[in-house]
Amino acid sequence: MKINRRTLLSLIGVSPAVLAGSPAKADQSKKKSAQKSGEAKIETLNPKGLPPPIQLIPMAPRLSSLDGKTIFLVSDGFAGADRFLNQIAIWFQKNMPNVKTVYRLKAGSYFDDDPKLTAEMKASGNAMIMAYGH
């Protein structure tokens, strides 16, 4: 299946114009130029390189309920994420005591995979909450 990236970005609420060459804006300028007569037009080249194709990944099936489930609370390593996830653990203890939470700090940089942690979560967890940036 092929989906135009413009359609995809519209789905997430981001203007396609900011991500690549924007034919929409080019069209507007062309209309503007059409109002002017006698100015020579020239042809110029698009300077963009080649972004990689995007493989859509189906999201994991959701749980019917969190009751009795184990949720991994995973920090990406930014300052304070550990404290914030601890507050989430406290929230579950107070409000949904049947939910078990397990805190983990992801190994590596914020964009690195952590295969060991992934294997652990798949083996003993039901869901993940990850936080958070700055």
What is the DSSP code (8-state) at residue 35?
T
| Distance in angstroms (rounded) separating the CA atoms of residues 25 and 42 | 17
The distance of closest approach from Cβ of residue 103 to other proteins in the complex, given in angstroms and rounded to an integer, is: 14
| Distance in angstroms (rounded) separating the CA atoms of residues 115 and 74 | 13
Residue pair 6/15 in contact by the 8 Å Cβ criterion: no
What is the DSSP code (8-state) at residue 73?
E
The distance of closest approach from Cβ of residue 82 to other proteins in the complex, given in angstroms and rounded to an integer, is: 11
Nearer to other proteins by C-beta: 51 or 97? 51
Residue pair 105/130 in contact by the 8 Å Cβ criterion: no
If DSSP codes are grouped into helix, strand and coil, which group holds residue 125? coil
Residue pair 72/118 in contact by the 8 Å Cβ criterion: no
The distance of closest approach from Cβ of residue 125 to other proteins in the complex, given in angstroms and rounded to an integer, is: 6
The distance of closest approach from Cβ of residue 96 to other proteins in the complex, given in angstroms and rounded to an integer, is: 8
